[in-house]
Structure 1
Amino acid sequence: MTLTLAAAALAFATASASADSMKITIATEGAYAPFNFVADDGSLQGFDVDIAKALCAKIKAECTIIKQDWDGMIPGLLAKKYDAIVASMSITAERKQKIDFTGKYYNTPAVIVARKDSAIKIGADGHIDPASMKGLKIGAQRATIHENFARANFPGAEVVVYDTADNANLDLMSGRLDARIDDILALESGVLKQDGGADYQIFGKGWTGGILGDGAGIGVRKEDTKLRDALSQAILDIRADGTYKKINDKYFNFDVYGD
């Protein structure tokens, strides 16, 4: 009898620990449409949010999604304010020194958007001629791959950083910036599809890889390998069962997962 009770207690403890491990808090920014944004009713919405919910359902986790300013995203994870980041955070070598990532869940190019009458020139390779960016003010969100890329590739330009993409977009469209660098889909949503957006365009080819990273992944603490692996597998699973496509097609007219 004692052995039976002990076994039952062990089973209950194991089940409780398992249940606890399936309660996950996820952070997103809420200021990077169409990937994550705050809807009129105050709820967090967007591609990142829908993907997070689908992954939680796949791994049978009880998930809470919270809003976190971009600048504090990695510090908040390391301080255990939440367990994962689903906020269009690119997988880069620099970030991997501090945190770990799942496999990518999308990969879209970075581009430059400016007024159609901009003096920006395109080179023979289809990319922007860096010399034509000299003296221009380029807006980028602070502490992003896009800020790093602009500084590395357009040394003659002035890179102006912002706390949010929305604020950078506002300055572009009010004439306080000459150009914006960001993800193509974020700029389509935040500039080209806005009132007055017809005066702007994407210049040249987009960029991926290198300093821009290996696509957007889910950030977790280095010690949380089981969570990382479970979410990585769940990304593949929702790709395979059609869930990913349904979410993708809600926001985009092409497969944002990439090659």
Structure 2
Amino acid sequence: MNMLKPLTLAALGLVATYTVAFTQGKTWTKVTIATEGAYAPWNFTEAGGKLAGFEIDLGNELCKRMKVECNIIAQDWDGIIPALQAGKYDAIMAGMNITEKRLETINFSRVYGTGGQVFGVARGGPLAALPGLGARLNLTTSEADALKAMEEMKKLLKGKTVGVQVSTINSQFLDKYFKDAVTIKEYKTTEEHDLDLANGRLDAIFVSILALNATIEKPDFKNLQVAGPSFGGGLLGSGVGVGLRKADPELKAMFDKAIGDMIADGSLKALAVKWFKLDISPQS
């Protein structure tokens, strides 16, 4: 029995060591963040290849507040979640809305940006008269109103071709609600469908109103405009957050606190106004 006692104590010590390690969780000193680099003003790539935009500034500021070294890299949108799960990077900041579908696969920080999704069309063209301009319709809180508005819009959209970025909530939205009325054409980036709309190769696009507003400000796209209401909620999600692996709760807690601190001190609002010319930060 005396010979077994040291072994038992050693085993208990080993269990205690693992318990403490599990309780403490992973310590983060460096965080690699992926962004698309093609979704201005959320994120984009400058002429010299440098990443810029709202989420680049925000990511660097969040890392500073979390006291970690920050590395922000570009990643194609259509592989952005699989590469996170494969460990290529630790977080995603790419204008990604928090949806129930995505939450089945990954986790998210608290919301750091909000904004609806809209149709973009040629200025003064036949689709500029889409009903509901300026209205904000939520598929979660006012689904009946949103569905009624869509039926009215389909009268003008019938037989038209609408561009949308592949593997996005916007493509899911068109497929669910408008595929019986329009031809859906998918693009690798929003930049590509913006160009096709401006050059008359599309009748409309469906995109974030914030991204479309930024596009319209460019001289080459001044012939575009927002048409109809903006949509949110439901499969379009509850707002934009940092995408994270479910296995990294410590990192989520760090991002949540840093985002909360920026909301509280007004710095998130200031950053949003700098890039979007309006406050897209959550109110609490």
* TM-score with structure 2 setting the length: 0.80
Q: 2:203 aligns with which of 178, 185, 200?
A: 178
8 Å Cα contact 2:165-2:190 kept in structure 1: yes
Q: Cα deviation per residue 1:186-240 (whole Å; 9 max; x = unaligned)?
A: 11122x2233533322112211111100111100100101101110111110111
Equivalent residues in 2 for 1:110-125 (5 A)? 110-115=117-122, 116-119=124-127, 121-122=130-131
**Is 2:87 aligned against 1:63?**
no
**Is 2:224 aligned against 1:216?**
no
Q: 2:194 aligns with which of 169, 174, 178?
A: 169
* Amino acid in structure 1 at the alignment position of 2:190: A
**Is 2:154 aligned against 1:130?**
yes
User: Quick one: structure 1 residues 18 and 97, their matched pair in 2 at CA, closer, same or farther if it must change by over 3 Å?
Assistant: closer
Supply the distance in 2 between the matched residues of 1:125 and 1:168 (Cα, whole angstroms): 23
Supply the distance in 2 between the matched residues of 1:52 and 1:233 (Cα, whole angstroms): 13
Runs (5+) with no aligned partner, structure 2: 1-16, 136-148
Supply the distance in 1 between the matched residues of 2:278 and 2:214 (Cα, whole angstroms): 15
* TM-score with structure 1 setting the length: 0.88
**Is 2:252 aligned against 1:252?**
no
8 Å Cα contact 1:108-1:257 kept in structure 2: no
**Is 2:100 aligned against 1:93?**
yes
User: Quick one: structure 1 residues 198 and 124, their matched pair in 2 at CA, closer, same or farther if it must change by over 3 Å?
Assistant: closer
Q: 1:47 aligns with which of 54, 60, 63?
A: 54
User: Quick one: structure 1 residues 249 and 224, their matched pair in 2 at CA, closer, same or farther if it must change by over 3 Å?
Assistant: same
Could you say which structure has the larger radius of gyration? 2
Q: Cα deviation per residue 1:232-252 (whole Å; 9 max; x = unaligned)?
A: 111110111232123112112
Q: Cα deviation per residue 1:163-202 (whole Å; 9 max; x = unaligned)?
A: 0110111111111110011101111122x22335333221
* Amino acid in structure 2 at the alignment position of 1:49: I
8 Å Cα contact 1:142-1:162 kept in structure 2: yes
Q: Cα deviation per residue 1:102-151 (whole Å; 9 max; x = unaligned)?
A: 11110101010101212453169954522321111111000011111112
- Aligned residues, how many? 244
8 Å Cα contact 1:37-1:46 kept in structure 2: yes
| SS of residue paired to 1:87 | coil
Q: 2:113 aligns with which of 85, 96, 106?
A: 106
Supply the distance in 2 between the matched residues of 1:124 and 1:142 (Cα, whole angstroms): 25
Runs (5+) with no aligned partner, structure 1: 1-9
Q: 1:152 aligns with which of 176, 179, 182?
A: 176
Supply the distance in 2 between the matched residues of 1:170 and 1:48 (Cα, whole angstroms): 23
**What's the counterpart of residue 73 of structure 1?**
80
Q: Percent identity?
A: 39
**Root-mean-square deviation (Å):** 2.2
